[in-house]
Structure 1
Amino acid sequence: MARYTGPKSKVARKFNEPIFGPCKELKRKSYPPGQHGRNRRRKQSEYAVQLQEKQKAKYTYGVLERQFRNVFEKAARKQGITGTNLLQLLESRLDNTVYRLGISPTRRGARQLISHKHITVNGQVVNIPSYSVRPGDIIGINEKSKGREFIKNTIEGRQTSRYSWLEWDSSQMQGKYLTLPEREEIPENIKEQLIVELYSK
């Protein structure tokens, strides 16, 4: 499974946002990494701003370049606003849905759960993190995995679902993907129009 394995705190400092979750380094050093981090010039070209926004989206959702481009092309073919379609497709990934449901505290952890066959979709084990979840799908935990200590602890510590497009049934330890999220419901700080402009060049 291709994934980013580099330093997480440097990425957070580059975008000045906790891309991978809470980051102590970001609080301690609120400037970009590198020897010129403190004195880096503020003015950026239009292309640099657009590229940075694309990179932020890639790191946030844990998608590498070729996969991200494929998702964008799929979003461009769909009816509606391309930028919104892009975010909806990224939100519909199984690893992101497992993370949003609170089954895992991070997207990286969600990918590991899926790869190790702990997650089911409509009762069938799915071990592909990029699998696209559709409205009406039931995302649950494999019957053999429900007794695992780390899964039980995460489920017990999860917060009430904050996302209107998802529904959680604690008695069955499963969630339902109700509908595609509207743009204003997606909490990520991503300017998707800049990504559309970048790919449109």
Structure 2
Amino acid sequence: MLRYLGPKLKKLKQFNIHMHPGFSTKYSILNKNFIKNNKAIISFYLLELLEKQKLKFTFSLTEKLIKKYILFIHKYNYKKFNISTIIEARLDKILFNIGYSITIAQARQLIVHGYFFVNFKLITNPSFLIKIGDIISLSSKSSFIFKLCKKNLYIKYIKTIKCNLNVYICKKTCLSIFYSQINNYTFNSYNNLLIIQYYLH
């Protein structure tokens, strides 16, 4: 199954997601009862499936990529590694956390179009995993990204970023980031154990 390209608000209702970047305007006009109360008996397998589908929708992941992450977790120690630690190390998620994009989809598009370098090497794969000490740089054609930073509602979650010895990332003098530690902000909570159990049946 490839990435979901249909109506996103429909999926937000289905997965009971109350917050998603880029949907604040639509959410403001919805009442509190926009999610139907389903009192039917739900099996444990269905709970696992819904958690997996919610993860796929939120971060635009493919089935093949999720299986790759699960095998990595199972091969090593899943008590130390989980889905969250891998997702938060992805380049598209880090750019969203930093404030270079308003949505995950926008971060993916900027990466694919060649706006970012990692360790001075062009990266066009949104699922590229960033390690501590990596340097994320902007290309010369990405001056408009600084305007996006100022509009980003989630910029307040940035606390520990070293950028040319300046903690303010939106200044035009900041052209690269030394990735040391970023306080991650996950806008949708999901159960890591249910997702892992779904693939280990």
**Deviation digits for residues 156-197 of structure 1, max 9, x if unmatched?**
334545256x51522323333325979xx7554111111122
- Alignment coverage as a number of residue pairs: 188
Partner of 1:95: 92
Offset at 1:7? 1.1
Q: TM-score, normalised by structure 2?
A: 0.79
Three-state SS of the structure 1 residue aligned to 2:67 is helix
**Deviation digits for residues 94-152 of structure 1, max 9, x if unmatched?**
1111111110011100000000000111222111111111111111211x2233x3x23
User: Residue 16 of structure 1 contacts residue 31 of structure 1 at CA under 8 Å; is this kept in 2?
Assistant: no
Partner of 1:35: none
User: Residue 140 of structure 1 contacts residue 174 of structure 1 at CA under 8 Å; is this kept in 2?
Assistant: yes
The structure where helix makes up a greater share of residues is: 1
User: Residue 92 of structure 2 contacts residue 126 of structure 2 at CA under 8 Å; is this kept in 1?
Assistant: yes
User: Residue 100 of structure 2 contacts residue 146 of structure 2 at CA under 8 Å; is this kept in 1?
Assistant: no
User: Residue 161 of structure 2 contacts residue 181 of structure 2 at CA under 8 Å; is this kept in 1?
Assistant: no
Partner of 2:102: 105
* Structure ranking higher on relative contact order (CA contacts 8 Å, 6+ apart): 2
Of 151, 155, 159, 2:149 maps to 155
Partner of 2:166: none
Partner of 1:79: 77
Partner of 1:176: 178
Tell me how far apart the structure 2 counterparts of residues 167 and 29 of structure 1 sit (CA, whole Å).
Answer: 37
Three-state SS of the structure 2 residue aligned to 1:140 is strand
Tell me how far apart the structure 2 counterparts of residues 108 and 156 of structure 1 sit (CA, whole Å).
Answer: 18
User: Residue 17 of structure 2 contacts residue 188 of structure 2 at CA under 8 Å; is this kept in 1?
Assistant: no
Offset at 1:20? 4.0
Offset at 1:31? 4.3
Q: TM-score, normalised by structure 1?
A: 0.79
Partner of 1:4: 4
Q: Percent identity?
A: 26
Tell me how far apart the structure 1 counterparts of residues 32 and 95 of structure 2 sit (CA, whole Å).
Answer: 31
Structure 2 residues without counterparts, runs of 5 or longer: 164-168
**Deviation digits for residues 27-80 of structure 1, max 9, x if unmatched?**
248445xxxxx4744321111111111111111121011111111111221234
Tell me how far apart the structure 1 counterparts of residues 73 and 155 of structure 2 sit (CA, whole Å).
Answer: 30
Three-state SS of the structure 2 residue aligned to 1:167 is coil
Of 111, 129, 132, 1:132 maps to 129
**Deviation digits for residues 4-26 of structure 1, max 9, x if unmatched?**
21110011000121464225268
Three-state SS of the structure 2 residue aligned to 1:27 is coil
Three-state SS of the structure 2 residue aligned to 1:139 is strand
Tell me how far apart the structure 2 counterparts of residues 173 and 155 of structure 1 sit (CA, whole Å).
Answer: 13
